[in-house]
Amino acid sequence: MEYEPKLTLRDKKKEATAFALAEAAFELALKHGMEGFIVDDVVQKAGFSRRTFANYFSCKEEAVAEYFIGNVSKEDKNMLFKDMPPDTTPLDALYNLLKLQFTSEFLHKLRQFVLLANQYPSLEPYILSVFRRLQIAAQQTLEQFSRGRYADGYTHLLAGAVYGAFVPILDGRLNVLLPGEAQEEDSGAMSFDQYLNSMFAYLHNGF
């Protein structure tokens, strides 16, 4: 199995700059709403120039959305799959990737992003973009395992089904508790781990 090369020092610096700007934009959006801050506030909070911001993002909405894109770095994925046996299935690899990627903190922040987008239409186009890019990153990682062993399109189908199943959790259409949320009496809510395991049981066993 081939692993992606480690990031160079320059790559890491660029990645850190983009994340710092994105994190500042997301925190400002949570505190003030999308209409309560401007790009100058973002660069001041992150400690960069407006020109640096323009090198990475076209607008503050894009910066807010970018906060969620690089949640798992290439090195994290290489480390995750390093100890997996060569006969690991793409489905099992995807399960492990999700457990790494969708931490309690990340899930709660992702839900906050969805709620923000529901409140501010300027953010709405970026919801599907975030999930699409997370899905593509996962699908590309799965290709490391499926190349030559599975039919073309298999990893696309897996990543699309799994990442699509997260949207109704985050926008409240499914009654699923995120990690750390307490269940109210007679709510009938399912825990996140129960939902994740049942979803993968369907994929393992068929619908």
CA distances from 180 to 17, 45, 48, 112, 198 (A): 31, 29, 35, 15, 19
Q: What is the pLDDT of residue 70?
A: 58
Q: Looking at the whole model, is its pTM more than 0.85? A: no
Q: Which residues of 86-105 are buried (b: 16+ CB within 10 A; e: fewer)?
A: eeebbbebbbebbeebbeee
Of residues 38 and 172, more confidently modeled: 38
Confidence tier at 141 by pLDDT (50, 70, 90): confident
Split at pLDDT 50, 70, 90, the class of 99 is confident
Residue type present at position 119: Q
**CATH annotation of 1-67:** 1.10.10.60
User: What pLDDT sits at residue 24?
Assistant: 97
Residue 78 — very low, low, confident or very high, per pLDDT cuts 50/70/90?
low
- Whole-number Å distance between alpha carbons of 52 and 32: 23
For 27-36, the pLDDT digits (tens) are: 999 999 999 9
pLDDT in the model for residue 33: 95
